[in-house]
Amino acid sequence: MPEEPRRQARGQRRMVQLLDAAAVVFAEAGYAKATTNAIAKQAGVSPGTLYQFFANKEALAEALAERYRSELAAAHAKAFDPGAAHLPLPELVDRMIRPMVEVNLANPGFKALFGSGDLPEKLTAPPRALQRAVIGRVAEVLAARHPDLPPERLETTAAVATQIFAALLGTVVSTPEAQRERWIAELNQALIGYLSPLDQRV
């Protein structure tokens, strides 16, 4: 590999390392109390190395916000596809759950960080807007599956399904990997049990 692409690849890896470290420090200490020195220490690099890539902690937070927004958007696109609405209900539920579990596993502390009110509003607004949009995305899938349902019923059902998911998500994410599938199965069953009466209407 030529030297320039190698340098770029190393730089990209270093940026990911610094952002991962920033996510940990921001989540533990809060944005206001976090320092670039603490982030550099968490990343195992010198403060000078950090400043080669990010001018200050706000620049780190901006990059984290964009990464989280991008990953959430990608998870939503996979999870909430109205084109999959007519799959068997267990398959549909699993298809909606998996990407949302995966994005939370891949970004530990991000939800707490961006929901804390500690970061400037301009950074938290896009990820929070995506989080709030989940009910609407679930309602879109349900509308495609049950086009005869009135909008109010769709919204209520989507809201309750989203709350069931949110109530168990913390347990799923914090459970050791060896036991995680058991809890994902329980989450699936809870949602299937709630949603299946819609399929059974005469």
CA dihedral 97, 102, 103, 106 (to 10 degrees): 160
Residue 147 has pLDDT above 50, yes or no: yes
CA dihedral over 20, 25, 27, 30, signed as positive or negative:
negative
Q: Are 67 and 19 in contact (CB under 8 A)?
A: yes
Which range (15-24, 101-110, 113-122, 193-202) has the least confidence?
113-122
Q: According to the model, what pLDDT value does residue 124 have? A: 79
Going by C-alpha positions, the residue among 150, 142, 146, 194 that lies closest to residue 168 is 194
- pLDDT per position as a tens digit, 113-145: 777 777 778 877 877 787 788 999 999 999 999
Q: According to the model, what pLDDT value does residue 202 have? A: 45
On whether both 123 and 142 belong to a single domain, the answer is yes
Q: How many domains does the chain have?
A: 2
**Domain-located, residue 120:** yes
The per-residue pLDDT of the chain, averaged, comes to 89
Tell me the pLDDT band of 10, cut-offs 50, 70 and 90. confident
On whether both 186 and 139 belong to a single domain, the answer is yes
- pLDDT per position as a tens digit, 34-61: 999 999 999 999 999 999 999 999 999 8
On whether both 48 and 70 belong to a single domain, the answer is no
**Domain-located, residue 114:** yes
**Domain-located, residue 96:** yes
Q: According to the model, what pLDDT value does residue 125 have? A: 81
Give the burial string for 25-38 (b: 16+ CB within 10 Å, else e): bbbeeebeebebeb
- pLDDT per position as a tens digit, 151-168: 999 999 999 999 999 999
Which residue range is the domain that position 18 belongs to? Answer: 1-55
Which range (8-17, 40-49, 75-84) has the least confidence?
8-17
38 or 110, greater pLDDT: 38
Residue 81 has pLDDT above 70, yes or no: yes
**Half-sphere exposure (Cβ direction) of 38: Cα atoms closer than 13 Å:** 15
> At 27, which CATH number?
1.10.10.60
**Domain-located, residue 60:** no
Tell me the pLDDT band of 187, cut-offs 50, 70 and 90. very high
Please tell me the pTM assigned to this model. 0.80
Going by C-alpha positions, the residue among 76, 21, 25 that lies closest to residue 49 is 21
Which range (10-14, 27-31, 95-99, 152-156) has the least confidence?
27-31
**Domain-located, residue 186:** yes
